[in-house]
Structure 1
Amino acid sequence: MSLNKVNLVGRAGRDPEVKYFESGKVVCNFTLAVNRRTSNRDEPPDWFDLELWDKSAEVAANYVKKGSLIGITGSLKFDRWQDRNTGEERQKPVIRVEQLDLLGSKRDNESASTGYDDDF
């Protein structure tokens, strides 16, 4: 048996970037900052790259702004490419989001859109 499941709660690190394809598919990418559960509030958050497709991508594009509190469930994958300058193989971890939960209140989202970020 194998299992690849990721559950995170944090704040959007930037506004979502959305791409529409001729096929009708939609993809959305942005980052998520997650604070660790420690007593040290000065510790920086962990950052994760997120990838959402189709309906979830459209919801994120319409409702998530930098600083929005969200929860996600997804799976870990690795994007792989060849570096143009060195020719070396590169990779980065990306979370493919299967479920997006908008956790902040409307007031939180309005604060986020004005640039207020209290957890970064």
Structure 2
Amino acid sequence: MSLNVVNLVGRVGGDPEVKYFESGKVKCKLTLAVDRRSRNSDQPDWFTLELWGKTAEVAANYVRKGKLIGVQGSLKIDHWSDRTTGVERSTPIIQVDRLELLGSKRENDTGTVESYNDTEF
């Protein structure tokens, strides 16, 4: 049995980086700050999120720096060679399948949780 599921709730660290491909696909990258549950941790953990398709479009249109969101997805590791040194590098990425816009009524026009799942579109 294998299981690769990540659930995170946090605040967006910057405005979305959106890329439109000639094929019509859309990719969105975000950073997410997530607080730990310990009392003596004053620094959040930072995650890089990658969204595709309709979920990426929703993030591009409605998500901004500081917005509270919830995501569900899977962990993947990106690998590449450094251009200058040739050293192999890697970084963890959260491949988002589901996006929820959270927050107060002031942050969100309807005051409700809005959920977006790429498989629903």
TM-score, normalising length from structure 1? 0.86
Gaps of 5+ in 2: 110-121
| 1: CA distance, partners of 2:72 / 2:20 | 23
Shift of 1:109: 5.8
| 1: CA distance, partners of 2:104 / 2:55 | 19
Is residue 2:64 matched to residue 1:35?
A: no
| 2: CA distance, partners of 1:51 / 1:12 | 13
TM-score, normalising length from structure 2? 0.86
Is residue 2:54 matched to residue 1:24?
A: no
Contact 1:18–1:29 (Cα < 8 Å) also in 2: yes
| 1: CA distance, partners of 2:108 / 2:36 | 22
Large movers: runs of 4+ above 3 Å: none
The answer to which structure has the higher helix fraction is 1
Q: Indicate how the Cα distance of structure 1 residues 109 and 14 shifts in structure 2: closer, same or farther if over 3 A, else same.
A: farther
Shift of 1:96: 0.2
Superimposed CA distance per residue, residues 22-52 of structure 1 (whole angstroms, 9 cap, x where no aligned partner): 1110000010000011223x61000000000
Gaps of 5+ in 1: 111-120
Matched with 2:53 is 54
Matched with 2:92 is 93
2:7 is paired with a residue of what secondary structure? strand
Shift of 1:81: 0.5
The count of residues paired between Structure 1 and Structure 2 equals 109
RCO higher in structure (CA 8 A, sep ≥6): 1
Identity score, percent: 70
| 2: CA distance, partners of 1:83 / 1:52 | 24
CA RMSD in angstroms comes to 1.4
1:107 is paired with a residue of what secondary structure? coil
| 2: CA distance, partners of 1:14 / 1:48 | 12
Matched with 2:14 is 14
